[in-house]
Amino acid sequence: QVFYVNARGAIMDGMYSDMTGDDTAPDYDYQVATAIQDDGWSAEYRIPFSEIAYDKNADKPWSLLVLRNMMRDQRYRMYSGGVTRAASCNLCFSDEIHGLKNLPSGMNW
């Protein structure tokens, strides 16, 4: 699942696959607050568990990959994980999140 936002607060969501790219047909209910400062901007997301596709009984860690995409004279992409240029699987570089226990039910695959 993907949840995008720009500095002005415009949002887009959907599903992402390394093979097919973005599918913006799904429409998730979430909120984002953005703030523009002199030295950049920030975003704070509120994504309810009910909007995330996961199996609450699965015993495997979640993963998260944050991407900053800057379009200037060249395109700059900065990832929270160590994605390489030659990678055919960006999601494979997601950082694992451990310790999420006793979660409510989410959207099941």
Residue 36 pairs with which residues in a beta bridge?
A: 41
Query: Is residue 79 situated within a structural domain?
Result: yes
Q: What's the pLDDT at 108? A: 58
Query: Is residue 21 situated within a structural domain?
Result: yes
Asked if residue 53 has pLDDT above 90, the reply is no
Query: Is residue 104 situated within a structural domain?
Result: no
Please state, as a whole number, how many other Cβ atoms lie within 10 Å of the Cβ of residue 96. Answer: 10
For the segment 53-68, the average pLDDT, to the nearest whole number, is 79
Q: What's the pLDDT at 30? A: 93
What percent of the chain lies above the pLDDT cut of 70?
Answer: 94
For the segment 72-85, the average pLDDT, to the nearest whole number, is 71
Query: Is residue 76 situated within a structural domain?
Result: yes
Q: How many CA atoms lie within 13 A of 66 on its CB side?
A: 8
Q: Which residue has the higher pLDDT, 105 or 49?
A: 49
Structural domain including 60 reads 2-97
Query: Is residue 103 situated within a structural domain?
Result: no
Band of the pLDDT at 79, cuts 50, 70, 90? low
Band of the pLDDT at 10, cuts 50, 70, 90? very high
**What's the domain count of the chain?**
1
